[in-house]
Amino acid sequence: MAITPVGAGGSQAALLAYRAIDGGALEGAGAAAAPTPGGGFSGALNRALGAVVDTARQAETGAMQAISGQGDIGAVVTAVAKAELALQTTAAVRDRVVQAYQDIMRMPI
């Protein structure tokens, strides 16, 4: 999945990213999120985090195979790069969520 900066067209990019994570549960731009068996946003978040963990495990498995002489170095480098990108993306999303929470807590009542 490509990372798109928020800005002009950022809401459309966010919708497309959410649709990709959620398996296409949303039916068009601007549509309200329908309840899904996967739990909606929290289910999509859990699946996305699960994918990050799986990517890290694949990189670790590939590295162990390469160390033992059974793996392809090119595949290991690719897997480690994917795992690093997934971890950086997860940290960026976490930072944005924390910032949004702090902004909400600063709002006057």
8-59, pLDDT tens digit by residue? Answer: 455 565 556 656 665 544 444 444 444 455 578 888 888 888 999 999 999 9
* Token representation of residue 31: 């549509």
pTM metric for this prediction:
0.56
78-87, pLDDT tens digit by residue? Answer: 999 999 999 9
Instruction: Please tell me whether residue 32 adopts helix, strand or coil conformation.
Output: coil
Residue type, 31: A
**21-24: long-range pairs with CB below 8 Å, 24+:** 21/47, 21/48, 22/47
d(CA 35, CA 9): 25
d(CA 12, CA 42): 20
